[in-house]
Structure 1
């Protein structure tokens, strides 16, 4: 069953930044890409680095541990060493609230 939850306020993240949020026993990386918000699983599939702590360049986040790149819109790996993508979460903006859908 899907569950929509508030994860942040739009004012919490400036464009070009990301953060990690713990929500219902999950670590979620939230990013602001030119005013659009995207949420992915926070844990890199290579060796467990925090993607929310990574460097964001456009819609690509670089894992701070070993440099794997992930597209924050799709969760796909765009540069190794990671071989597998990460889960994405649908994001909805209601007023100033950033909501994500958890399953």
Structure 2
């Protein structure tokens, strides 16, 4: 697990970009739980941390594709491939992310 942020620095419902080595990851607090997905849209390779969050969905700012922050599933076109997701733990007010994706997209390693 890699320490990436202080929990107090994350605003619920707002995307927050962190790096796991060379991998950009988007953190979002959803209903009191920190979710982590790969930050790059599987359709247009745009940063999702610049997008919008509604509930447990994040929307890509380029073409409006939406993804589930819990499963990484692509929910709306034009995206059709899921995002990798990452396991998150909160310890002593710090957000820790497992650098090995829980789910994997074939084009993003």
Gap regions ≥5 residues in structure 1? none
Asked if 1:36 corresponds to 2:33, the answer is yes
> Alpha carbon RMSD of aligned pairs, Å?
0.8
TM-score by length of 2: 0.88
Q: Structure 1 stretches (4+) deviating beyond 6 angstroms? A: none
Q: Quick check: which one's strand share is greater?
A: 1
Q: Aligned pairs, how many?
A: 100
Pick 1 or 2: higher relative contact order, CA cutoff 8 A, min separation 6: 1
TM-score by length of 1: 0.93
Once residues 99 and 15 of structure 2 are traced to their aligned partners in structure 1, the CA distance between those partners, rounded to angstroms, is 19
Asked if 1:70 corresponds to 2:67, the answer is yes
Summarize the alignment of residues 1-103 of structure 1 with structure 2, pairs less than 5 Å apart. 4-103=1-100
Say whether the 8 Å CA contact 1:68–1:81 is kept in structure 2. yes
Say whether the 8 Å CA contact 2:20–2:99 is kept in structure 1. no
| Superposed displacement of residue 58, structure 1 | 0.3
